[in-house]
Amino acid sequence: MAVRSAVLNVMAAAARKAGRGLIRDFGEVENLQVSQKGPSDFVSTADLKAERILRTELEKARPGWGFLMEESEPVEGDGKHRWIVDPLDGTLNFLHGIPHFCISVALERDGEIVAGVVYEPLRDEEYWAEKGGGAFVSDRRLRVSGRRNLAEAVIATGIPFGAKANNPAYHKGLQAMSAETAGIRRFGSAALDLAYVAAGRFDGFWEYSLRPWDIAAGILLVREAGGYVSDFEGSHDVLKNGNVLAGNDHLHLSLGRILRQAGKA
């Protein structure tokens, strides 16, 4: 049985408590969709409620630590420890009654991610990792896929939308990836995409302009499952620039090559 630290148990318990609220609220969103009432404000309330639960639970267990959360202003804290939290990753899915969303909680210590939890409440799947201790879903050890051939690989991505939709480098990269792989998937939750790379369900993942709360826990999951995470140029400082490329140890370099060549085309 996998052994977890006290702080990881705190993170998991907070995510599960917030997840119970999201499950209840998701049922209400589905009802609102059926009745054709506008659920946008309701979803915003669900998001904020989950964030309040997470902050309360984490702050109670470790008072004085900092916070970086999607819906609130940053909290400096002790300057050494910082929680990086997304209370609802996959909000658009949630809004439309699509059952694919999660909670992401990471712990940063002295600028390094040392623990992470990605909890998918509807499936009750809890992905977790601690630096140097491996990655797990519940008590099962995770390993990235062993595929070596791009033509057999399934790669996840996030498609730019709204003001970011006009990204020529992304669209060239998508075309190039589609030509060299078995398929591209877009599910709408970067945290879960990274968790699925760690679990070997996806062979790789790339996306532009993500925020730290989208990826902090997922980055650790992939690395602890034996995979690689960088930006498109090979830098490991992805929390700052937000351009993320994850893959298994056989395909990561090839995926980076495709994206760089497409960006120069």
Q: Note down the domain range covering 230.
A: 150-264
Are 210 and 248 members of one domain? yes
Residue 41 confidence (pLDDT): 56
Are 101 and 32 members of one domain? yes
> Which pair of structure tokens corresponds to residue 181?
């792989």
The separation between the first and the last C-alpha atoms of the chain, rounded to the nearest angstrom, is: 50
Give the end of a domain, one of 106, 121, 141. 141
Q: How far apart are CA 230 and CA 235, in angstroms?
A: 5
Residue with tokens 């057999």: 152
Are 184 and 122 members of one domain? no
Grade residue 70 by pLDDT with cuts at 50, 70 and 90.
confident
Are 173 and 117 members of one domain? no
pLDDT at 162 over 90: no
Q: Could you give phi then psi for residue 245, rounded to 5 degrees? A: -130, 120
> Which of 78-82, 96-100, 157-161, 168-172 is the most confident on average?
78-82
Are 106 and 196 members of one domain? no
Are 106 and 159 members of one domain? no
More confident residue, 265 or 25: 25
Q: Worst-scoring range by mean pLDDT, 7-21, 109-123, 140-154, 155-169?
A: 155-169
Grade residue 90 by pLDDT with cuts at 50, 70 and 90.
very high
71 is a domain residue? yes
Give the end of a domain, one of 83, 110, 141. 141
Are 49 and 133 members of one domain? yes
For all residues of the chain together, what is the average pLDDT?
92
DSSP E strands, the chain: 66-69, 81-89, 102-109, 112-120, 125-130, 134-137, 140-141, 154-157, 183-185, 204-207, 228-230, 244-247
Are 132 and 156 members of one domain? no
Report strand pairing: 228-230 vs 204-207.
Answer: unpaired
